[in-house]
Amino acid sequence: MARFAVRRLASMVAVMFAISILTFLLFQVLPNSDPSTRLAGRTASPTQIAKIRSDWGFDKPIYVQYIKTMGKILNGTVTSYQQQLPVEDQIRQDLPTTLSLAIGAGVIWLALGILFGVLSAWRAGRWLDRGLTVLSLVGVSMPVFFLGAVLSYYIGDKARILPAGDYVALTSDPWQWFKHMLMPWFALSVLFIGVYSRILRSTILDTINDDYVRTARAKGLSERQVMIRHVLRNSLIPIVSLWGLDFASVLGGGAILTETVFNLHGVGQYAAQSVEGLDIPPVLVITMFGAFAVVLLSAVVDIVYAALDPRIRL
Amino acid sequence: MQRSFRLLSALLVALGSMVVVAACGSSSSTGSGAGKTGGSVTVVQGTAPDYFDPSLSYTTQGANWGWISYLGLYTYAHAEGTAGTQLIPAIATSQPVISNSGKTYTITIRHGLKYSNGMAVKASDFTFSVERAIKLNWGGASFVTNNVVGATAFSKGAKSISGITADNAAGKIVIHLMRPYGALENVLAFPAMGLLPPNTAMKNLSTSPPAGFGPYELKNVVPNVSYDVSLNPNYAGQAVPGVPAGHVNVHVKIETNTTTEASDVLNNSADVFDWGDTLPPALLSQIQSQSSDRYKAEQTALTLYFFLNTTEKPFNNPLARQAVIMALDRNALARLDSGNLTPDCYFLPALLVGHPTAPCPYGNPAAAPNLAAAKKLVAQAGLTGTPVTVWGQERSPRKEYVDYYASVLNSLGFKATTKIIASASYFPTIETLKLHPQTGFADWQQDFPNPIDFYLLLSKAALQPTGNQNFGEVSDPVIEKGLAKLSGVPSSQLSSVASQWQTLDEYVAKKAYVAVFGYEKTPKFTSNRINFGSLLFHPLYGNDWSSLQLK
Amino acid sequence: MATDPAAVPGTEFSPGLPVGLASDEGEAPPGIGPYQLAWRRLRRNRVALAFGGLFLLMVVLCLLAPVYAHDIAHTGPNDPHITDVIKINGKPTNVVSTLGIPIGPTWHGRFFLGADATGRDIAVRLLYGGRNSLQIGAEATLLTILLATIFGIIAGYFRGVADGLISRAFDLIWAYPVYLLGIALGVSLQVGGLDLGLFKIQGNTLILTALIIGFIYVPYVGKPVRGQVLGLREREFIDAARQQGLGSLRIMFGELLPNVASTIIVFIPLILANAVLTEAGLSFLGAGVHDPNPSWGTMITDGIKLVPGAIHLVLVPGLMLVLTVLGINVFGDGVRDALDPRAKVRIEH
């Protein structure tokens, strides 16, 4: 177990560093990759640009720049180019929004995904199954920003049932927080519900015919016990592992489109704005943070996996 | 009251006097009997200020609080229209004494002023503040480094700026210039040149803004979310004439979605729509019909134009440039800009001294274009079929301008393709001289109300390998000669050379160096709670928060 | 890295239970190949075929864009009619109002679905936009499948260093949130394009967007292919092939490829659907298709800017997009049911 953890940790760190290098290089591809002209603004003189270049170290070789930036990221002093604000503070400020979105939507899509999947499998081939299948496929085919824009227009602007976008802190007003988050949660969940219910449905149907389920039935367990203890438990494994990864990527800034269309100042929107402003430090930190979340959660998933499935031992 | 106030200000401009401006300022604070003092208003801003540190901020959003929270030696009259472009002394006692050579400015500061943290304001604080702005790489630092003796050396590591001396006992500041520079007083009025206590840290203080001197204080900054611009309780006792003490505390909320931003103000859940943002067209018609008593489209000194590269084919040919100017349908461009465009052909915007009064040389910009004649010009020059790359910025409506422009070029017989670039990298890209962009979108918003600020963009001095602002690579001895003569004229005497600026601007229009299509209008739009009549729209800084009053 | 559910090797074709909308079918009759069997099953899945038909219809419609533009709308996709005045029921109407609000649907040949803010015909742009969206989707899918197959098979077959390198590269791309990588690539390659030495891709082109999307999805297919090959290479028929002295290349692409083909086929509609959606998402974030080229994504994005004034500018391209992707998805679902390996892909917003 300890060896497993160490190996996991090592690969996590390796991936994060590889990602940071990739991100850093990505922005060097730009033909005008020197950020000093952007930082200097439109009325800058050549001396001023030169001063910014040396102040920020843009005149140094690329690997020196990379090492310096990484050093600042690790000791928490890295600042953005655009506003020169500490990046980590900004992420800390944005994280509650993203957490609200990820947790709320994560619960919804997991619960509804399982519900629809089970119902679909239970009624396989019947009308309920067909209806849910069509519904989930529509969900999978829906771009979230389109859904978000249409929802905000009809429910937010027209009917005024729910506020369209914006974030209210949970600590300042829980009811408003809930009302503001409801539409983003729903919009973000739709696609995942579709994916999860489809996967669960097919795994349940596969598992029902597995040998050990037949054995369990032969042992005289009731159909309900078989379904819950054996079929559902085993069918949930891929769902749980998938959920961990999806949750992690939403947490790590993956919900860029949802956050943008609902104007939620989360990590994803921060990332999108930073990329738009060619602001390398925040993008570096967020991609590393996102990768960290994905890799960490995938490790957690493996442990849960092992707990759920006695056949897997770490 | 309001009208007589404006009339008075207009009179003052003509006189070029400053003593009465001060009197006028005090009249404005007692004027407009309808409003009251006290309370709090919410301003919604679509774009957050770039920095919350006066020595760094260089955007209109930053200037909104900058010019009322961080007074410098000079500031602008709190007035609308041309009257608002008048420079008035703030921490200085009077206009500078300028030596005959035009290269030495002597300024005396007021006695006994105190910063919001209680420290006394000293002459040497000016030197400190200038040095701080240069050290922190303020975006406008070149206005100082290009003109003040020793400023460039300081930016390269010298201990101090040799061209600025301060005598604290006498309260005297002497500034030495490398050459006569008429806009120096404007530069001193930048919020970034606001005086700061000498113990202010030499780093970006955006999360906890430094103390300053002014009617307001910048507080409670949560970057990209909100901040407060509160009344400075200590200001009233030491008020500077012409700089009113303000009425209400201002809470600013950042709301990146302009539709939400506008509907918040429309529904009175927020009070002031930021003048730097554009009202969504769908709401604009509603606002114009239902809330016309709290909405007005205001002129700004922002020129929108397509640059034409005078060294590259086809626009090295004057006929091709003339054809473009003739063929542009400015009414079409105005629709792309939701009607916020005032069509014109001159580089100097209408708000500025020197804006020509003569008719446009290539057709009335407000009328339909003469496409057939323009097409003939292109054919006559033998340029039909010339490939043209049109550079554009991703932002709306700028990319729409360029799409439209490309279609015009195509109908003239060119073979135009567009190259749309991410907003952040657009200008740094076309500012690269060796790229030699053929044509594309450009704009210029005044840094200060002096034509020299615009004409830097057409001067040889701007041609640099990077950061080139002269996109059209215009190099004309007539312009250079005119600038050599006019750039030294102090801002306070601008009106005396207005006709010379007009002649120069007419010359540029005649030579078709830039395809100007108009000047931007911006919304002055408030909630029902605000006393709309008393809110001043300043020609440089927009909504004057110190004039905000609740009904 | 994570135990990816998609990496579960599904090497055998189990007819399984009646899945999805397919009708029940008994055990396979002897002597019929798996593909024939799959085809039979697919043929009976009417719903899947109907949606496949819907997708084809969309493709045909989009291919007919020039005909519509030329003969019905009499305007091109990028022709602005900002100051044009057209007659509606005999009444002259501005195509774009002086405040910049475009007209809504006229239900006539010109501006059938209305105009956009630049006075361009929505219906014409819709069809041209669909062409671009589908073209990008198809090119991206082709690239993903090609790279994923080659690298997946190489990694699975050679194992060792090759596998290590390829798998780490897969992990790297995979750990990046899809849209974050997409916009980072989109923004940085936009200006200068991509110079690969042998050939150079201009910035601001459709193919560049297609390349970016195709590149992003490689690990999502590459990982399962690799996993499957890892299982297959231990099987007898590969041993036999090796003993016959067949070269690695022959084994990889002559023996292994046909055995992973069904997995790859299942992924094609999935990736196609996701590529079309990703194009829309990237365009929404300003890192995809650029004006004046229309695509459904850019059209929705431009429409959102005019909401609440003109919701149809969002609805029309959005519904086209949803219907097309739905067509691909339902059909793809049918194909998967017919072939039945357990293929999944991690999707994000």
Tell me how crowded residue C29 is: count the other CB atoms within 10 A of its CB.
8
Tell me how crowded residue C235 is: count the other CB atoms within 10 A of its CB.
13
Q: What are the C-alpha distances in Å from A2 to residues A9, A16, C94?
A: 10, 21, 73
Amino acid at B259: T
> Which pLDDT belongs to residue C340?
65
Amino acid at C32: I
What value does the mean pLDDT take over residues A68-88?
A: 89
Average confidence score pLDDT of chain B: 90
pLDDT of B1 higher than 50: no
- Closest partner residue to A206 among C16, C184, C281, by Cβ? C16
**Size of chain B, expressed as the number of residues it contains:** 551
> Which pLDDT belongs to residue B500?
96
Spatial separation of the C-alpha atoms in residues A13 and A132, rounded to whole Å: 41
Map tokens 């031992």 to a residue.
Answer: A313
Query: Which of A48-52, B363-367, C130-134, C202-206 shows the lowest mean pLDDT across its residues?
Result: C202-206
Of the two residues C127 and B224, the one the predictor is more confident about is C127
> Strand pairing of B249-254 and B40-45?
parallel
Distance of CA B413 to the CA centre of its chain: 37
Facing residues of B416 across strands?
A: B388
> pLDDT confidence of B194, banded at 50, 70, 90?
very high
| B109: DSSP letter | B
Q: In chain B, what are the domain boundaries?
A: 9-21+31-254+526-547, 299-522
Nearest to A140 by CA among B506, C311, C41, C277: C277
Edge to edge, the sheet with strand B164-167 lists B97-98, B104-108, B172-176, B164-167
Which residues in chain C are contacts of B422 at CB distance < 8 A? 187, 190-191, 286-287
The count of CB pairs under 8 A between chains A and C is 209
> Which pLDDT belongs to residue C37?
80
Q: What is the DSSP code string of A291-312?
A: HHHHHHHHHHHHHHHHHH-TT-
Rounded percentage of chain B residues whose pLDDT exceeds 90: 75
| C24: DSSP letter | P
CB-count exposure of residue C127 (10 Å: 0-12, 13-18, 19+): buried
Cβ pair A254:C177 closer than 8 A: yes
Nearest to B195 by CA among B159, B240, B157: B240
Q: In chain A, what are the domain boundaries?
A: 93-150+180-308
pLDDT of A294 higher than 60: yes
- Closest partner residue to C100 among B329, B337, B425, by Cβ? B337
- Closest partner residue to C291 among B418, B422, B425, by Cβ? B418
Map tokens 């600038």 to a residue.
Answer: B483
Task: Evaluate whether B200 touches B191 at the Cβ level (below 8 Å).
Answer: no
- To the nearest whole angstrom, how far is the Cα of A172 from the nearest Cα of chain C? 28
Looking from the CA of B395 toward its CB, the CA atoms found within 13 Å total 14
Q: What three-state secondary structure class fits C94?
A: strand
Distance of CA B469 to the CA centre of its chain: 16
- To the nearest whole angstrom, how far is the Cα of B211 from the nearest Cα of chain A? 19
H helix or E strand, kind and range, residue B222: strand B216-222
Map tokens 């695509």 to a residue.
Answer: C295
B14-54, pLDDT tens digit by residue? 444 444 334 443 434 434 445 577 899 999 999 899 999 99
> Which pLDDT belongs to residue B35?
58
> Which pLDDT belongs to residue C17?
30
pLDDT of B213 higher than 90: yes
Q: Which residues contact C94 (CB under 8 A, 6 or more apart)?
A: C83, C84, C85, C103
> Which pLDDT belongs to residue B319?
95
Query: Which C positions 64-103 lie with beta carbon below 8 A of chain A?
Result: none
Q: In chain C, what are the domain boundaries?
A: 38-64+122-339
pLDDT of A118 higher than 70: yes
Average confidence score pLDDT of chain A: 83
Q: Which residues contact B123 (CB under 8 A, 6 or more apart)?
A: B109, B166, B167, B168, B170, B171, B172, B173
Cβ pair B420:C290 closer than 8 A: yes
Question: CB contact, 8 Å: C305 with chain B?
Answer: yes
- To the nearest whole angstrom, how far is the Cα of C304 from the nearest Cα of chain A? 7
A183-218, pLDDT tens digit by residue? 999 999 998 999 899 888 888 887 777 777 777 777
Q: Which residues contact C139 (CB under 8 A, 6 or more apart)?
A: C206, C207, C210, C211, C214
Which residues in chain C are contacts of B397 at CB distance < 8 A? 100, 117
Which residues in chain B are contacts of A90 at CB distance < 8 A? 223-224
Tell me how crowded residue B411 is: count the other CB atoms within 10 A of its CB.
14
Q: Which fold has domain C38-64+122-339?
A: MetI-like fold (1.10.3720)
Which residues in chain A are contacts of C18 at CB distance < 8 A? 124-125
Q: Which chains would you list as touching C if contact means 3+ CB atom pairs under 8 Å?
A: A, B
Nearest to C313 by CA among C113, C119, C134, C127: C113
Q: Is the interface score ipTM higher than 0.95?
A: no
> Which pLDDT belongs to residue C197?
67
Q: Which of A39-43, A256-260, A299-303, B123-127 has the highest mean pLDDT?
A: B123-127
Q: What are the C-alpha distances in Å from B486 to residues A181, A309, B65, B187?
A: 59, 84, 32, 17
Which residues in chain A are contacts of C307 at CB distance < 8 A? 149, 152-153, 157
Nearest to B392 by CA among B420, B422, B432: B420
Mutate to test the interface with C, among A137, A151, A154 (most CBs of C within 10 A): A137
Cβ pair C184:A256 closer than 8 A: no
Q: What are the C-alpha distances in Å from C179 to residues A252, B293, C269, C271?
A: 12, 45, 20, 15
- Strands (DSSP E) contained in B34-102 are 40-45, 74-76, 87-89, 97-98
Mutate to test the interface with A, among B257, B419, B435, B453 (most CBs of A within 10 A): B257
Residue of A nearest to C345 (CA): A195
User: Helix C178-190 and helix C257-284: axis angle, to 10°?
Assistant: 70
> What is the token pair recorded at C99?
């405040």
Task: Evaluate whether B121 touches B115 at the Cβ level (below 8 Å).
Answer: yes
Question: CB contact, 8 Å: A39 with chain B?
Answer: yes
Nearest to C343 by CA among A231, A143, A300, A195: A195
What value does the mean pLDDT take over residues B88-99?
A: 95
- To the nearest whole angstrom, how far is the Cα of A298 from the nearest Cα of chain C? 5
Spatial separation of the C-alpha atoms in residues A248 and A15, rounded to whole Å: 15
Cβ pair B429:A31 closer than 8 A: yes
Q: Which of A224-233, A263-272, B319-328, C173-182 has the highest mean pLDDT?
A: B319-328
| Interface residue ranges in chain B relative to chain C, Cβ cutoff 8 Å | 259, 280-285, 288, 329, 331-332, 334-339, 368, 392, 394, 396-397, 399-400, 402-404, 406-407, 418-422, 425, 429
Cβ pair C291:B331 closer than 8 A: no
Query: Which of A228-237, B57-66, B484-493, C205-214 shows the lowest mean pLDDT across its residues?
Result: A228-237
Q: What are the C-alpha distances in Å from C330 to residues A262, C49, C56?
A: 29, 9, 13
Query: Which of A48-52, A103-107, B229-233, C28-32 shows the lowest mean pLDDT across its residues?
Result: C28-32
- Which CATH number fits the domain B9-21+31-254+526-547, given the four candidates 1.20.150.20, 3.40.190.10, 3.40.1260.10, 3.40.50.850? 3.40.190.10
> Which pLDDT belongs to residue A307?
66
- Which CATH number fits the domain A93-150+180-308, given the four candidates 3.40.228.10, 1.10.3720.10, 3.40.50.300, 1.10.287.130? 1.10.3720.10
Q: Which residues contact C34 (CB under 8 A, 6 or more apart)?
A: C13, C262, C339
What value does the mean pLDDT take over residues B350-371?
A: 92
Of the two residues A189 and A30, the one the predictor is more confident about is A189
Q: Does domain B299-522 have CATH number 3.40.225.10?
A: no
Cβ pair C99:B338 closer than 8 A: yes
Q: What three-state secondary structure class fits B230?
A: strand
Map tokens 């290590």 to a residue.
Answer: C164
| Predicted structure pTM score | 0.85
> Which pLDDT belongs to residue A4?
67
The count of CB pairs under 8 A between chains B and C is 95
- To the nearest whole angstrom, how far is the Cα of C107 from the nearest Cα of chain B? 22
Residue of A nearest to C15 (CA): A206
Nearest to B339 by CA among B382, B309, B391, B295: B295
Query: Which A positions 189-208 lie with beta carbon below 8 A of chain B?
Result: none
Spatial separation of the C-alpha atoms in residues A62 and C268, rounded to whole Å: 39
Which residues in chain B are contacts of C305 at CB distance < 8 A? 280, 396
Of the two residues A237 and A302, the one the predictor is more confident about is A237
> Which pLDDT belongs to residue C29?
57
CA angle (B504, B506, B512) in 5-degree steps: 105
Which residues in chain C are contacts of A198 at CB distance < 8 A? 333
Spatial separation of the C-alpha atoms in residues B295 and B430, rounded to whole Å: 36
Q: What are the C-alpha distances in Å from B31 to residues B25, B88, B240, B534, B535?
A: 10, 20, 17, 9, 12
H helix or E strand, kind and range, residue B229: strand B226-231
What value does the mean pLDDT take over residues A279-307?
A: 78
Q: Which chains would you list as touching B if contact means 3+ CB atom pairs under 8 Å?
A: A, C
pLDDT of B178 higher than 70: yes
Map tokens 């205001």 to a residue.
Answer: B298
Tell me which residues of chain C have a pLDDT lower than 70.
1-31, 191-192, 197-198, 340-349
Cβ pair B223:A90 closer than 8 A: yes
User: Helix C218-232 and helix C160-175: axis angle, to 10°?
Assistant: 150
Query: Which of A244-253, B225-234, B259-268 shows the lowest mean pLDDT across its residues?
Result: A244-253
In b/e form, how buried is each residue of C88-111, taking b as 16+ CB within 10 angstroms? eeeeeebbbbebbbbbbebeeebb
Residue of B nearest to A50 (CA): B156
B238-294, pLDDT tens digit by residue? 999 999 999 999 999 998 888 889 989 999 999 999 998 988 888 888 898 888 899
CA angle (A293, C223, C38) in 5-degree steps: 130
> Which pLDDT belongs to residue C1?
33
> Strand pairing of B415-421 and B387-393?
parallel
Spatial separation of the C-alpha atoms in residues B338 and B333, rounded to whole Å: 9
What value does the mean pLDDT take over residues A113-122?
A: 90
Cβ pair C280:A141 closer than 8 A: no
H helix or E strand, kind and range, residue B206: none
A156-188, pLDDT tens digit by residue? 877 788 877 678 888 888 888 998 899 999 999
Spatial separation of the C-alpha atoms in residues C339 and C295, rounded to whole Å: 33
C78-114, pLDDT tens digit by residue? 888 888 888 888 888 888 888 888 888 888 888 888 8
Spatial separation of the C-alpha atoms in residues C332 and C344, rounded to whole Å: 12
Question: CB contact, 8 Å: C100 with chain B?
Answer: yes
